[in-house]
């Protein structure tokens, strides 16, 4: 009686972990949650009452015109030429994934994506029946030849997260972006660049978006205010090639008419008044310090048990365990006995991976709890080994 | 290259009308917009800062627990037995339509719905490939035998708006609800009751929801805060049969993770503090007066040109024109020459209708503008005839 796509809705394991990790007595490395003290506090009382009154009525499906202008201006400054007419305001960037799935996927069509990649993208593309083809990258594999091979599947979409990737933290260089863009241009497939972590750059600014190097093939680029302002506002945006925009707009209208106008107003204020930049200047040192604290604690407790790279941005360390390990069982033991939450790496792969991985978020817990949690993780790994 | 469902995205006519109708010099009967003076003004400055701070973080896909409790309590009071565990908070009730389409529809499956019905439901169900079967009702047709006949299509879903229906304004009696529920129970199909207008009852309270009479077949009921508080908050909810809830929750998570938490906080406050009831007590007389003003102006200007029923709730009059008329051309002339916006009835039918209809919203314009606009409509109809 239910649609067959419902059979493809994957298990609620991840939701279960995140729900358990929300308990205050748990040291959580599991989610992608901003630190509580890094959440942007909107000045509700300072909002113009006339603008609030207007924001209570139905609004345009595209989003507020002034916010679309701000987003386009910001993207141009980051090296992506675009206009406000190409910007669609989203109810968080997860919605962009749903809209792109509707735009392009039919059962049996191929989607090419990094392996590992953002797990909720895997879930959404699977729901619509895509065959997922993983592109190994960034961990020493020859990414260019992997891309050539994967394009042979004739994908309807290539989903990429080139900047401080979730879960690996990897960031493609400008030269890699150019080479990949040239290959993708020849393929003619739609390129979907998901870029929620760009502004969380701790060492150097990220290179311009990959889609900025495309000359022919249609593309969609999306960003989010969840990681740099506050996820509870549920606000993101996409920018689409002019050919794709009208379809995405109609899909947005059919999905929920338009995005929350109060959130749009609050984010517009943050952009117009320079509050976003001041907020970023405040949270970047905090996140950099936590990243460095996690790096130090990893070296202290997990040397010889796992390998990792120092992420130059984003919110995660990606650990490859030295010895194969049932990371699901490890996760359960850690959560139940030690009150530490980690995310098993297997959730991020389209197909079973050869090695055992863990994703560790460094933004949510403070340095002391990071060290305590990693010591407990190391103890479990020693026991397992 | 695009998914075939994109070919089924219907024209943007309605969006064009609504966009044109938003101009302040237009007398708009076209949308379903609450009156500007009837929008709930949330007391942003009065919100508990600790609750606001908490609402900035990621939240549960189900929605805020306290809001789910409030919604369930309200529905039980309206005669629908349910618990908070069955409530899913939505980013507006249009989202519920998208989720139900994902849950049940595959290309070629039948969906049974009233004819006419809410046009954005037609669009969303078509997008997913449903074959739509209209159930004529409420305008003098034998609804029960129409229902028997339509159930022969073996629908995967029956979508109903039994209370102050959009567009007809029709309200099924308690006895009709019981008879329909008995038939639907025997069919075993999923019943999806969409109920955004229930609280806008001008003459007597609406009968209990139709799904409250179901004993066996799975059901989903949804409501909205858009018409009774403010659409810009984009907040609605669904309540689902226990069998269906877990799937809908996962679909919600895949669609946008969770609903806007600030809006949830504002609506929760409105419910807990009794503000919603006080707001309703204030806006019902306003809407009743506008309905009566439109009824008087219709009698004054359109007697002999159209027939209509006095709606006992909701936001619309539904006019059947005495003579067949190209209502699209009529709409365009009215908008361009007279600056009056109406909605052609054809947009609300799954299949071409035998007669010509117009839907007229009475909530947005004041009594003076209603009379001016209807005089201009009558003049055009006289010219056309």
**Does A242 have pLDDT greater than 90?**
yes
Is the Cβ–Cβ distance between B92 and B267 less than 8 Å? no
A164 alpha-carbon distance from chain centroid: 9
Mean pLDDT of B273-277: 95
Cross-chain Cβ contact A58/B232 below 8 Å: yes
The number of CA neighbours under 13 Å toward the Cβ of B250 is 20
Mean pLDDT of B82-93: 97
Domains B4-40+283-384 and B45-275 share a fold: no
Name chain B contacts of A243, Cβ cutoff 8 Å.
none
Q: What is the DSSP secondary structure assignment for residue B34, as one 8-state letter?
A: P
**Does B140 have pLDDT greater than 50?**
no
Query: Which residues neighbour A242 within 8 Å (Cβ) at sequence distance 6 or greater?
Result: A85, A86
Per residue in A141-151, pLDDT (tens digit) is 466 777 888 89
Residue B153, burial from CB neighbour count under 10 angstroms (0-12, 13-18, 19+): middle
B76 alpha-carbon distance from chain centroid: 21
Chain A residues 291-350 within an 8 A CB cutoff of chain B = none
Question: What is the CATH number assigned to the segment(s) A44-275?
Answer: 3.40.640.10
**Does B143 have pLDDT greater than 70?**
no
pLDDT at B24: 86
End-to-end CA distance of chain A: 47
Q: Which of A92-96, A141-145, A227-231, A371-375 has the lowest mean pLDDT?
A: A141-145
**Does A368 have pLDDT greater than 70?**
yes
- Tell me chain A's radius of gyration from C-alpha atoms: 21
Residue A22, burial from CB neighbour count under 10 angstroms (0-12, 13-18, 19+): middle
**Does B74 have pLDDT greater than 50?**
yes
Per residue in B278-320, pLDDT (tens digit) is 999 999 999 999 999 999 999 999 999 999 999 999 999 999 9
In a mutational test of the A interface, the residue from B4, B49, B56, B106 whose CB has the highest number of chain A CBs within 10 Å is B56
Question: What is the CATH number assigned to the segment(s) B4-40+283-384?
Answer: 3.90.1150.10
**Does B275 have pLDDT greater than 50?**
yes
Residue A203: CB atoms within 10 Å: 11
CA-to-CA distance for A152 and A141, rounded, in angstroms?
Answer: 18
Picking from A302, A319, A307, the residue whose alpha carbon sits closest to that of residue A381 is A302
End-to-end CA distance of chain B: 47
In a mutational test of the A interface, the residue from B251, B260, B264, B265 whose CB has the highest number of chain A CBs within 10 Å is B260
Length of chain B: 385
- Minimal CA separation from B72 to chain A, in Å: 22
Angle between helices B245-256 and A119-127 (to 10 degrees): 120
CA-to-CA distance for B268 and B104, rounded, in angstroms?
Answer: 31
**Cis ω for the linkage preceding A167 (within 30 of 0):** yes
Chain B residues 253-292 within an 8 A CB cutoff of chain A = 253-263, 266
Q: How far is CA B129 from CA A192, B4, B71, B102, B124, in A?
A: 25, 9, 32, 11, 9
Complete DSSP assignment for B213-227: G-SSS-EEEEEESTT
Sign of the CA dihedral with B254 first, then B260, B261, and B265 last: negative
3-state class of A237 per DSSP? strand
Q: Which of B5-19, B214-228, B287-301 has the lowest mean pLDDT?
A: B5-19
Element containing residue B238 per DSSP (H, E) = strand B236-240
Cross-chain Cβ contact A9/B260 below 8 Å: no
From the candidate CATH numbers 3.40.50.720, 3.90.1150.10, 3.40.50.300, 3.40.50.2300, the one assigned to the domain spanning A4-40+277-384: 3.90.1150.10
Cross-chain Cβ contact B57/A39 below 8 Å: yes
Mean pLDDT of B227-253: 96
Cross-chain Cβ contact A232/B260 below 8 Å: yes
pLDDT at A9: 86
Per residue in B175-189, pLDDT (tens digit) is 999 999 999 999 999
Percent of chain A, pLDDT > 70? 97
Mean pLDDT of B193-207: 97
Cross-chain Cβ contact B250/A12 below 8 Å: yes
**Does B141 have pLDDT greater than 70?**
no
Picking from B130, B182, B131, B190, the residue whose alpha carbon sits closest to that of residue B160 is B190
CATH architecture label of B45-275: 3-Layer(aba) Sandwich (3.40)
**Does B139 have pLDDT greater than 70?**
no
Q: Is B50 on the interface with A (CB under 8 A)?
A: no
In a mutational test of the A interface, the residue from B17, B234, B267 whose CB has the highest number of chain A CBs within 10 Å is B234
Mean pLDDT of A40-47: 88
Q: What is the DSSP secondary structure assignment for residue B211, as one 8-state letter?
A: G
pLDDT at A351: 87
Cross-chain Cβ contact B41/A57 below 8 Å: no
pLDDT at A140: 41
Question: Among B33, B250, B255, whose Cβ lies nearest the Cβ of A95?
Answer: B255
The sheet carrying B190-194 orders its strands as: B87-90, B236-240, B219-224, B190-194, B157-160, B110-115, B131-136
Task: Write down the domain spans for chain B.
Answer: 4-40+283-384, 45-275
Per residue in A82-100, pLDDT (tens digit) is 999 999 999 999 999 999 9
Question: Among A45, A91, A105, whose Cβ lies nearest the Cβ of B44?
Answer: A45
């Amino acid at each position: 009686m239910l649609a067959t796509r419902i059979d493809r809705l994957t298990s609620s394991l991840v939701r279960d972990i995140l729900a358990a990790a929300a308990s205050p007595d748990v040291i959580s490395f599991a989610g992608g949650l901003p630190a509580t003290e890094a959440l942007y506090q909107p000045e509700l009382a300072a909002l113009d009452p006339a603008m609030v009154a207007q924001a209570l009525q139905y609004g345009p499906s595209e989003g507020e015109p002034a916010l679309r202008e701000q987003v386009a201006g910001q993207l141009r400054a980051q090296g992506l030429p675009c206009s406000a007419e190409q910007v669609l305001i989203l109810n968080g960037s997860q919605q962009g994934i749903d809209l792109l799935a509707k735009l392009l996927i039919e059962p049996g069509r191929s989607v090419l994506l990094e392996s590992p990649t953002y797990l909720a993208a895997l879930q959404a593309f699977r729901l619509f029946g895509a065959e997922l083809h993983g592109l190994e990258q960034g961990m020493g594999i020859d990414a260019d030849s992997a891309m050539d091979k994967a394009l042979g599947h004739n994908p309807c979409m290539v989903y990429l997260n080139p900047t401080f990737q979730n879960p690996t933290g990897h960031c493609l260089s400008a030269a890699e972006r150019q080479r990949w863009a040239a290959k993708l241009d020849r393929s003619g497939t739609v390129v979907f660049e998901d870029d929620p972590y760009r502004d969380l750059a701790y060492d150097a600014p990220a290179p311009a978006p990959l889609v900025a190097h495309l000359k022919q093939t249609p593309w969609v680029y999306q960003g989010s205010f969840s990681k740099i302002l506050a996820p509870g506002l549920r606000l993101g945006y996409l920018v689409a090639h002019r050919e794709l925009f009208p379809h995405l707009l109609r899909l947005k209208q059919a999905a929920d008419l338009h995005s929350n106008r109060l959130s749009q107003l609050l984010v517009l204020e943050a952009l117009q008044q320079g509050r976003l930049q001041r907020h970023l200047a405040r949270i970047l040192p905090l996140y950099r310090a936590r990243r460095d604290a996690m790096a130090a604690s990893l070296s202290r407790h997990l040397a010889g048990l796992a390998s990792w790279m120092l992420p130059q941005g984003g919110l995660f360390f990606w650990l490859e365990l030295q010895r194969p390990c049932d990371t699901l069982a490890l996760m359960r033991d850690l959560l139940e006995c030690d009150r530490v939450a980690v995310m098993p790496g297997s959730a991020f792969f389209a197909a079973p991976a050869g090695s055992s991985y863990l994703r560790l978020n460094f933004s949510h817990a403070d340095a002391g709890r990071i060290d305590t949690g990693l010591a407990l993780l190391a103890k479990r790994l020693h026991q397992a080994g």
